[in-house]
């Protein structure tokens, strides 16, 4: 079994299993959630094990499927690995924040989307790629199926509309574009008497290029298709937004760009009108969504507009009608995915910790959340980059390839229009804390004093009962002590509005954990079964203690996960992961008529 097959099978099984089990709850949910996480890890490992060497035109490469119609490549390897790593971190945040409920919907949808995306990136047939990319969007329906609330149906209707229109349009364009291109080529070859037919076909190709741009715009929510995004943000769990807004559009955009790059761009047609339309749409979308994000008070909506703004920049890859735009456009798409994942994860964690979606209510958030603040700073750097970074270069290349100066400078400036939104969040966070922020759990580790508990042997007490009593005593002492400390400090957990776990927890502290009984075990005559039971009890106890510790320290753990996402984004954006080389790989198509 090749790594590509294994990846597809494991991803599909993990998705099916977690979708089934997480909806049932209890033991099935725990088991299948664990299985889903293991599947995600395996997907990441298998993605890295894929053969990333690009194949040559018309020749199947190693590890290919279906006579070369599906074949791994460097871009697939990098993107799927990044997707799986990001998904693991998001899943960890969901599990820490909301337990199994947080993973319901998100985990299976992520696995399904990764499988769909893998098929789209691996496909060497445009129709196959279009179908796979388009249908990847239906992963959103899995998230919505697990969600509850009054907006689920209307958001689901909007999402279904986009998710099925996109494959329908892409399949149609993928079928029609080679025919129109063929007519243009034959018209030129046949002579002057056929030029009229070629011109008509050229006009049709322009319309098909616009259709490709519309497909990408619909998926990212570019204006005028933006209404769907805030409604979706309202209806779904906050930690599903990185998948729905940042990752799912990626395969669609890559396939849309591939159709243009492979079929339309080589003809060098005079498509200035189409180019102007796309550039104007991008400019309007950049300006309007940046303004919307800046003045928006709803955190989820603001983040959604930021994603739209960055996603709309990818349309310049089509507007360029230049084969040189292929690499920068695909680079930009990956940078958008990873950087917006970090941003949306930051948003989700901030919303959970401070229990508000109101941006004004987040004033002062930085003071108690230095790691989260660092994550936002790194995310900002990953989004905009610095000269020399791939993010910066890709943005500049797309702008300069799409239009000449001074319009390219205008596009560059418009591309920076979302920067004030990031700065607003940071400046606001440095202000005086609101009561909403003040009562939330800080990130810093302020461990309560824990009493040192020594084993006590009482007279006429067996070793077994001594163990239980000592543990109970330790728990009681530790609980009482932490309760007092928590009471003194007024500790309150913002997530869920429950009392702080440090005060609510009655389990013994780690330093009192492995309490040894007195007397040699051999002397007590304990049987093997007793030892096994004790070992099991200890393991369960340790697991319980770990769960309590994770829940107690979830503020710092979730912030650290967001920082890790931001670092991944920064590494991608800087080019350290080799995104530029992978993105500039040529499209290799072996089985469709467009290859001629």
Partner 1 sequence: MTIILVFLAVVVAGAASVTVSAQQPRLAALGVLVAMAGSAYIADPLPDLVAIVARLTGAVLAGYLIWVSLREAEAPTAGWQIGWPGAAAIAVAAFVIGWLAATALGGDLATVAGEGPSATGVATALADGSLVPRAGIGAAAALIALGAAPVLIARDVLRLGSGLLLLLSAADLVRHALVAEPDRVVELGMAVVVAISGAAVAGLVHGSLKHYGDLVIRPGTGQRFAIRHRSADEAHPRRARPDLAE
Which residues in the 41-70 window bind partner 1 by CB under 8 A? 66-67, 69
Tokens of 405: 């100066």
Dihedral of the alpha carbons of 220, 223, 225, 227, in degrees to the nearest 10? 100
The least CB distance from residue 362 to partner 1, in Å, is 10
Is the Cβ–Cβ distance between 314 and 336 less than 8 Å? Answer: yes
Is 145 near partner 1 (CB under 8 A)? yes
CB 27 within 8 A of CB 116: no
Binding range to partner 1, per CB under 8 A, among 73-81, 175-183, 325-333, 542-550? 175-183
Q: Which two tokens stand for residue 229?
A: 């995004």
Which one of residues 160, 291, 513, 567 is an interface residue with partner 1 (CB under 8 A)?
160
| Residue 392 Cβ vs partner 1, minimum distance, rounded to whole Å | 33
Binning the chain into helix, strand and coil, the percentages to the nearest 5 are: 75, 0, 25
Residue 298, beta-bridge partner list: 358
Closest to 84 (Cα-Cα) out of 576, 563, 568, 559: 568
Nearest to 453 by CA among 515, 542, 507: 515
Which one of residues 29, 89, 131, 308 is an interface residue with partner 1 (CB under 8 A)? 131
Binder of partner 1 out of 97, 163, 400, 573 (CB under 8 A): 163
Q: Are 116 and 139 in contact (CB under 8 A)?
A: yes
Interface pick for partner 1 out of 6, 61, 141, 475 (rule CB under 8 A):
141
User: Hey, which residues between 94 and 123 contact partner 1 (CB under 8 A)?
Assistant: 119
Closest separation in Å from C-beta 480 to partner 1: 27
Give the distance, in angstroms, between the CA of residue 200 and the centroid of all CA atoms in the same chain: 42
Residue 176 or 419: which CB sits closer to partner 1?
176
Q: Coil, helix or strand for 441? A: coil
Q: Is 359 exposed, middle or buried (0-12, 13-18, 19+ CB in 10 A)?
A: buried
Nearest distance, CB of residue 183 and partner 1, angstroms:
6
CB of 243 to partner 1, least distance (A): 16
167 touching partner 1, by CB under 8 A: yes
Binding residues among 567-596 for partner 1 as defined by CB under 8 A: 591-593, 596
Which of 171, 410, 426, 463 touches partner 1 (CB under 8 A)?
171
Q: Does 347 bind partner 1 (CB under 8 A)?
A: no
In the chain, count of helices (H) and strands (E)? 26, 0
Residue selected from 86, 125, 443, 495 as contacting partner 1 according to rule CB under 8 A: 125
CA dist 8 and 134 (Å) reads 17
- When asked if residue 72 is in the footprint of partner 1 (CB under 8 A), the reply is no
Using CB under 8 A as the binding rule, whether residue 178 contacts partner 1 is answered as yes
Question: Is residue 417 at the binding interface for partner 1, with CB under 8 A as the rule?
Answer: no
In the complex with partner 1, which residue's Cβ is closer, 190 or 464? 190
| Token digits of residue 411 | 């596009």
Nearer to partner 1, 130 or 325 (CB): 130
Q: Check binding of 216 to partner 1 (CB under 8 A).
A: no
The residues in 373-412 that bind partner 1, with binding defined as CB under 8 A, are: none
Query: Footprint of partner 1 on residues 262-291 (CB under 8 A)?
Result: none
138: contact with partner 1 by CB under 8 A: yes
Q: Which helix (H) or strand (E) holds 46?
A: helix 26-49
CB of 44 to partner 1, least distance (A): 24
Interface with partner 1: number of residues (CB under 8 A) = 77
The secondary structure of 109-141 as a DSSP string is: HHHHHHHHHHHHHHB-SHHHHHHHHHHHTTHHH
500 touches 456 (CB < 8 A): no
Q: Which range in 252-260, 277-285, 355-363, 446-454 contacts partner 1 by CB under 8 A?
A: 355-363
Phi first, then psi, for residue 123 (nearest 5°) are -65, 135
Residues 191/260, Cβ–Cβ less than 8 Å = no
Separation CA 141–CA 341 (nearest Å) = 19
| 234 makes contact with partner 1 (CB under 8 A) | yes
User: With respect to partner 1, which residue has the nearer C-beta, 96 or 255?
Assistant: 255
Query: Does 520 interact with partner 1 (rule: CB under 8 A)?
Result: no
Residue 208 · residue 180 · CB < 8 Å = yes
Chain positions 433 to 472 lying near partner 1, rule: CB under 8 A, are 433-436, 438
State which of positions 192-211 bind partner 1 (CB under 8 A): 194, 197-198, 200-201
Q: Is 134 in the site for partner 1 (CB under 8 A)?
A: yes
């Amino acid at each position: 079994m090749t790594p590509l097959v294994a990846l597809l099978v494991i991803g599909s099984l993990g998705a099916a299993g977690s979708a089934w089990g997480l909806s049932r709850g209890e033991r099935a949910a725990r088991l299948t959630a664990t299985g889903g996480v293991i599947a995600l890890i395996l997907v990441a490992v298998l993605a890295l094990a894929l053969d990333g060497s690009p194949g040559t035109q018309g020749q199947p490469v190693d590890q290919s499927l279906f006579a070369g119609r599906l074949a791994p490549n460097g871009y697939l390897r990098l993107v799927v690995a990044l997707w799986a790593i990001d998904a693991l971190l998001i899943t960890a945040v969901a599990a820490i924040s909301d337990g199994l409920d947080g993973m319901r919907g998100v985990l299976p949808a992520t696995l399904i989307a990764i499988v769909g995306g893998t098929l789209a990136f691996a496909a060497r047939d445009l129709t196959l790629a279009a179908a796979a990319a388009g249908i990847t969007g239906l992963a959103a329906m899995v998230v919505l199926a697990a969600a509850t609330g009054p907006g689920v149906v209307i958001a689901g209707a909007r999402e279904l509309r986009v998710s099925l229109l996109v494959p329908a349009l892409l399949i149609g364009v993928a079928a029609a574009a080679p025919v129109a291109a063929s007519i243009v080529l034959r018209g030129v070859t046949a002579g002057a008497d056929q030029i009229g037919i070629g011109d008509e076909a050229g006009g049709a190709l322009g319309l098909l290029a616009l259709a490709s741009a519309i497909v990408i715009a619909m998926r990212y929510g570019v204006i005028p298709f933006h209404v769907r995004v805030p409604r979706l943000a309202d209806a779904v769990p906050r930690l599903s937004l990185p998948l729905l807004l940042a990752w799912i559009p990626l395969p669609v955009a890559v396939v849309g760009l591939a159709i243009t790059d492979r079929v339309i761009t080589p003809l060098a047609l005079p498509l200035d009108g189409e180019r102007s339309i796309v550039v104007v749409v991008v400019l309007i979308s950049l300006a309007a969504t940046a303004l919307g994000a800046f003045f928006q008070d709803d955190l989820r909506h603001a983040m959604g507009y930021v994603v739209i703004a960055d996603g709309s920049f990818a349309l310049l890859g089509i507007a360029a009608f230049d084969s040189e735009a292929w690499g920068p456009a695909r680079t930009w798409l990956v940078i958008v995915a990873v950087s917006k994942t970090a941003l949306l994860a930051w948003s989700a964690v901030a919303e959970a910790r401070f229990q508000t979606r109101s941006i004004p209510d987040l004033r002062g958030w930085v003071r108690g959340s230095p790691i989260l603040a660092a994550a936002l700073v790194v995310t900002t750097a990953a989004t905009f980059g610095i000269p020399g970074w791939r993010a910066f270069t890709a943005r500049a290349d797309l702008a300069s390839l799409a239009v000449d100066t001074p319009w390219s400078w205008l596009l560059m400036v418009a591309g920076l229009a979302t920067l004030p939104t990031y700065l607003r969040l940071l400046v606001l966070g440095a202000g005086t804390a609101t009561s909403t922020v003040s009562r939330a759990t800080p990130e810093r580790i302020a461990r309560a004093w824990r009493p040192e508990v020594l084993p006590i042997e009482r007279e006429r007490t067996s070793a077994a009962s001594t163990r239980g009593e000592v543990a109970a005593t330790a728990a009681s002492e530790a609980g009482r002590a932490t309760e007092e400390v928590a009471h003194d400090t007024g500790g309150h957990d913002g997530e869920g509005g429950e009392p702080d776990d440090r005060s609510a927890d009655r389990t013994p502290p780690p330093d009192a954990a492995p309490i040894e009984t007195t007397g040699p075990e051999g002397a007590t005559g304990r049987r093997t079964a007793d030892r096994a039971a004790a070992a099991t009890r200890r393991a369960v106890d340790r697991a319980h203690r770990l769960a309590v510790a994770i829940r107690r320290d979830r503020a710092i753990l979730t912030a650290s996960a967001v920082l890790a996402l931001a670092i991944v984004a920064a590494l991608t954006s800087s080019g350290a992961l080799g995104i530029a080389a992978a993105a500039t790989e040529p499209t290799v198509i072996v089985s469709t008529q467009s290859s001629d």
